[in-house]
Amino acid sequence: MAVRVQAYAKINLTLEILGRRSDGHHEVKTILQTVDLADRLDVESAPRLRVDCDDPSLSGDANLVWQAATMLAKRAEIEPKAHIFMRKRIPVGSGLGGGSSDAAAALVALNQLWDTGLSVEELYPLAAELGSDVPFFLRGGTALAEGRGERVSPLPALAEMPVLLVCPDQTLEHKTRKLYSQITAAHYSDGGVTRRLVQTMMGGHFEVSILQNVFENVAFQVFPGLSELYQRVASLVATRPHLSGAGPALFCLPSGEDEYQQVAKSLRYCNANVYLVQAIIPRFA
């Protein structure tokens, strides 16, 4: 038996930090949206657990997909026997949630392969243990995430809106930790921006002017060249670019083919990948 699933990227329409919790984690409020840039996982039965990737640096046991497999097998009280092959399309360490999405997709695929019979709700505790964004990816779509990001509430879906993604070809070791280390109490908020966008979306509307990401206050000092890249993109698009997650990926919405062509042409020598994608609701869950 074999199972194939897509692991979709996400963007953060809002991202606010409310403060630091007693457990050391930060309390966040964010609106997440899946887009159709995706990794692919092919999962099949095997004598033992094996995880391979077309990016060899991601093969083996030092990734969330391996952890997802071993945690699900322990929950089901079975041996983790499967071969998982990942085809990466989401840039690594970009703020688009590729690693978390891969882990969620592994849970979904192995739940089918091993016939463990767990509902999505029963997979949530495993997903939350794997990482803050992983629970969201079990369903994807449009959602409000709170707490560390593990408390997920669905929101009215965006129309299939075109989204321009600009992903600098750079990685930063311990990126999220470094970005959070630059956040001070002055950057904390009460979640009001996110509440306002939620209210707008619940009313059947979408206001692009509300989009906000707290990491935009510090990311341009952390990522070399990001400020210049941002300014170049901003000069070519109709709506202001925003950072996704802790970056360095940028997105603009709504966008279109003309903007994509202009930006791709302008950045062809800038070590950045440019994509035109769609906001979607995944169908695998």
Q: What is the residue-wise DSSP string for 115-126? A: T----HHHHHHH
* Co-location of 126 and 260 in the same domain: no
pLDDT at 160: 82
Catalytic residue, candidates 10, 29, 88, 175? 10
Bridge partners of residue 145, in order along the sequence:
30, 152
- pLDDT single digits (tens) 25-84: 899 999 999 999 999 999 999 999 999 999 999 999 999 999 999 999 999 999 999 999
**In this predicted model, what pLDDT tens digit does every residue of 240-260 receive, in sequence order?**
999 999 999 999 999 999 999
- Kindly state whether residues 132 and 57 are assigned to the same domain: yes
Active site residue 10: yes
Average per-residue pLDDT for the chain:
95
CATH code, 172: 3.30.70.890
* Chain Cα centroid distance, residue 211: 16
284 pLDDT band, cuts 50/70/90, is low
User: Is 133 a catalytic site residue?
Assistant: yes
Contact assessment for residue 250 and residue 243, using Cβ atoms and an 8 Å cutoff:
yes
Whether residue 283 contacts residue 108, with contact meaning beta carbons closer than 8 Å, is answered with: no
Which tens digit of pLDDT belongs to each residue from 96-155?
Answer: 999 999 999 999 999 999 999 999 999 999 999 999 999 999 999 999 999 999 999 999
Token duo for residue 61: 């046991």
Structural domain of residue 260, as residue ranges? 162-278
CATH of the domain at 58: 3.30.230.10
Q: Are residues 76 and 201 in the same domain?
A: no
Using one digit for the tens of pLDDT, what is the confidence trace for 262-276?
Answer: 999 999 999 999 999
pTM of the shown model: 0.95
Q: If we measure between CA atoms, which residue out of 51, 47, 87, 53 comes closest to residue 69?
A: 51
CA pair distance 84, 96, nearest whole angstrom: 21
Other beta carbons less than 10 A from residue 235's beta carbon: 10
Query: What confidence category does residue 204 fall into, taking pLDDT thresholds of 50, 70 and 90?
Result: very high
Chain CA centroid to CA 110, Å: 21
Using only the alpha carbons of the chain, give its radius of gyration: 19
Q: Choose the catalytic residue: 39, 88, 102, 133.
A: 133
The DSSP code for 97 is -
C-alpha to C-alpha distance for 120 and 144, rounded to whole angstroms: 17
Based on the fold, state whether residues 194 and 263 are members of the same structural domain. Answer: yes
Q: Are residues 148 and 183 in the same domain?
A: no
